[in-house]
Chain A
Amino acid sequence: MTTLAPAHPRIDWSGMVLALLLTLVIVGPLLVVATWAFTEVWRYPNIIPQQFGFRFWGQTLGRPDVWNALILSLRLSTVVTLLSALICLPAAYAFARMTFPGRDILFFSFLAGHAFPKFGLLVAIAAIFLQLDLIGTFWGVVLIQLVGTLMFMIWIPVAAFQAVDRRMEEAARDVGAGPLRVFWSITLPQAGPTIAAALLLSFVGTFYETEGAWLIGAPGIRTMPILMISYINNQMVIQYGAVLSVLLWVPSFIALMFARRIIGGGAFARGFGG
C-alpha cells in the first residue's frame, strides 16, 4: 500500500524556530508584567521573585480612582461604539449599495484621519474644543474617540454589506418584504458576524485609546489606560502599573474569546476584503 503522506511527518524546524521567536517576543513581556502583578518582593539579581502575593491587588483595587476610571472607561467605550454604529452603519450601507456623486472621495476621506500624524490632528481639534468648552468633558472625549473608530466602522461594514448576495435580498423582496424588512431580516443578519467584529474592534480600540482621551480629557476625565500611565510615570512601585495592566487584559481577553465563539476566523478576514 502506498500513501502520499509519510508515516512520521517530518518536523518543520524553521517553523518551530519562528514560533518560538514569536512566543518569546509576544508572550515574554506579558509574562514579566503578569509576574510583577503577583510579586511582593523581587530584588536584583534574582531571576524569580522572592515573595509572591496579592498585597498590591488589594491596595490597587482598594483605590476609588481605579474603580472610577474603570467605570468611566466602560461607559466611554460603550457610548462611543453605539454612537459610531448609529452613524457609520447607515453610511456604510449607503457606500456599499448606493451610487451618489462624490461617493469614492467621501469613502476615502474616512482614511484621511489616519493619514496624518495623529497627535498633530488631535492638537488642532483640541484648539477647537477649547473654544467650545469641550475640554475636560465626557462628551469631548466621546467626540475625539469617535474619530478613531470611523475607519473600522465604515470600511469593515462596507465590505460586509457588499459581500451580501444581492439575489438573497431580491428573493426576500419577491416573497413580499419591503426594503426595510429586507435590510432587517436578510442584509443585517448576513452581514452580522462581520459587523460584530467591527463593533468589537471599535470597543476594544476605544477602551485602550490614550492620546485623544488624555489631550481632550485631562484633567477631568481619567480613563483606565491614562490612570495606568500616570501610575507608571509617577509611582516608584512597579506593581500598581502591573496590576492595572493585568486588569486591563481582562476586557479585551473576554471580548476576543467572545468574538472567536460567535464570529469564527473567516469574518475578520472577510471584513478586510480577504
Chain B
Amino acid sequence: MSVLNIAEVTKTFSGGTNAVDRFSLDVAGGELVCLLGPSGSGKSTLLRMVGGFEQPTGGRITIDGEDVTHLPPERRPTGMVFQSHALWTHMNVFKNVAFGLRLRRMPAKQIREKVEAVLELVGLAGYGDRMTTQLSGGQQQRVALARSLVLEPKILLLDEPFASLDQHLRERLRDEVRDIQQRLGITTLFVTHGQDEALSMADRIVVIANGRAEQIGRPDAVYRDPKTPFVAGFIGLMNLIEGEVKNGHFIRSEFTTPLPIADGPATLAIRPEALDLTASNAPTARVHRVTDYGSHGLVDLDLADGTRLKSTVANLDLFQAGQGVGLLPRAVAAYRENQQIYRS
C-alpha cells in the first residue's frame, strides 16, 4: 500500500525555471526509494517539498491518504536528516534527541527511555551528555538520525546524509542506515548524487534530471536496462556513441556493429564490461591507456576520429598503449530521440 503519494508536483522558482516538473511517485510502506540525480536536478527541492520546507507551485502530496501539500513542516509526519547534520550546537546529544519529544509534552521518564533506546539503536549509547561539537562527523550524523527516528515519523527523509563523510565511513553508515531502516520498516526517501549509495541501499531508484523522472525502477533494472541516454550515462560507466544507422549497421568512424533498426541517427550504449577487445588485422580502435584497478583492468580506447571508449578486461598484460584492437560488443542498447528503441 502506498504511504507517500506525490502527484504531478511542480515547483517553479521566481526566475521562471521549473526545478521540479510534473513529478509523480508512489512510495510503498517500508520501502526505501532513492532520488538520484546530478546537482541542480531538482531532487533536493522535491525532498524539501515532501518535508514541507518548500511549497509546490502545483500538484499534491499525500501521506497515508492525508493531503499534506500545504501543511508546515511541524505538522507533517516526516523526519528529515540534513546533509550538514544541522544539530543544535547549544544542546548536548540528549537534548538534541529529546527536543521533539519535549514539544509533545511527553513525561520526562518516558523521554529518557525513548532517547536512550534510540541512541542505542544508532550505536551511541552513553553519549547523551556529550556536546554535539565534541563528536566526529559520523557520530553527528547518527545523532541527526536518532533525532528524527525517536519521533517515529511515517516517512524518513534523508538529504545527502553522507556527503560530508569520508569514503570508508560513508560505506559503513549506509549499511547501518539500511539495517535500521529495514528493522524498523520505516518508509524512506533518500536523496543522493552518488550512484553507489543508490544502488546499494535502495529498493527502487528514481533517476532525476531537469526536475523530471527519467526512469523509476529497481537498482539492477536501472543499471541493466537504462531507458534513456541520460540514465545510461549517469548510472555506472557507459560508452555512449553518437552515430548513424545504415542498412542494419551502426557506424561511427571505423567502428561498425549490426543494429537492426531503421536508418537514421542513433546513440549506441555499451557497458565497458560488455565491450570485448579482439586482435585484428584491420583494427578499429587504438589503445590509449591501460589502468590497473586491482580487481580488474580498464582500457581506454580511441576511435580514429578521437571518440574515447572504455573496456573492462580481465588480463591487462595483453594490452599496451598504441596497440590496435578490434571491438566486439556483447550487449548494446540504442536510443533515438531520447527513447530506447533497441536492446540486445
Which A residues have a C-beta under 8 Å from some C-beta of B?
A: 165, 167-168, 170-178, 181, 185-186, 189-190, 192
Contacts and interface: CB of A to CB of B under 8 A. Distances in A.
B342 interface: no
A190 B90 CA distance: 7
Contacts of A189: 88, 90
Interface residues of B, number: 24
Given A171-B86, A176-B100, 11 more contacts: A167-B82, A168-B87, A170-B73, A170-B82, A172-B99, A173-B72, A174-B148, A175-B151, A176-B103, A176-B151, A190-B89
A185 to B, nearest CB: 7
A197 B87 CA distance: 24
B148 A168 contact: no
A237 to B, nearest CB: 52
Nearest to A168: B86
Interface of B: 51-53, 72-74, 78-80, 82, 84, 86-90, 99-100, 103-104, 144, 147-148, 151
A175 B148 contact: yes
B75 to A, nearest CB: 8
A172 B88 contact: yes
A168 B74 contact: no
A173 B89 CA distance: 16
6 contacts: A165-B84, A167-B84, A175-B99, A178-B72, A190-B88, A192-B90
Contacts of B103: 175-177, 181
Nearest to A181: B103
Nearest to A169: B86
Contacts of B86: 165, 167-168, 170-171
Nearest to B51: A174
Given A171-B80, A181-B103, A176 B74 contact: yes
A177 B101 CA distance: 10
Contacts of B90: 189-190, 192
Given A175-B147, A178-B74, A190-B89, A170 B80 contact: yes
A165 B84 CA distance: 10
Nearest to A185: B99
A170 B53 contact: yes
A174 B88 contact: no
A174 B78 CA distance: 7
B270 to A, nearest CB: 42
A251 B203 CA distance: 65
B127 to A, nearest CB: 18
B132 to A, nearest CB: 11
B76 to A, nearest CB: 8
Contacts of A168: 86-89
B99 A174 contact: no
Nearest to B89: A190
B84 to A, nearest CB: 5
A221 to B, nearest CB: 40
A177 B147 contact: no
A263 B52 CA distance: 35
Which 7 residue pairs across A and B have the least CB separation, nearest first? A175-B100, A167-B86, A173-B73, A171-B86, A189-B90, A176-B103, A174-B80
Nearest to B78: A174
B278 to A, nearest CB: 54
B55 to A, nearest CB: 14
A160 to B, nearest CB: 13
Nearest to B48: A170
A176 B104 contact: yes
B53 A171 contact: no
Contacts of A173: 52-53, 72-74
Contacts of A185: 99
B104 A171 contact: no
Contacts of B72: 173, 178
A177 B99 CA distance: 9
Contacts of B148: 174-175
A1 B95 CA distance: 49
Contacts of A170: 53, 73, 80, 82, 86
Contacts of A190: 88-90
A168 B89 CA distance: 9
B74 A174 contact: yes
Contacts of B151: 175-176
B320 to A, nearest CB: 43
A184 B52 CA distance: 21
Nearest to B98: A175
Contacts of B87: 168, 171
Contacts of A175: 74, 79, 99-100, 103, 147-148, 151
A192 B88 CA distance: 13
Nearest to A173: B73
A138 B89 CA distance: 42
Contacts of B73: 170, 173-174
Nearest to A186: B88
A223 to B, nearest CB: 37
Nearest to A178: B74
A245 B90 CA distance: 39
Contacts of B84: 165, 167
Contacts of B88: 168, 171-172, 186, 189-190
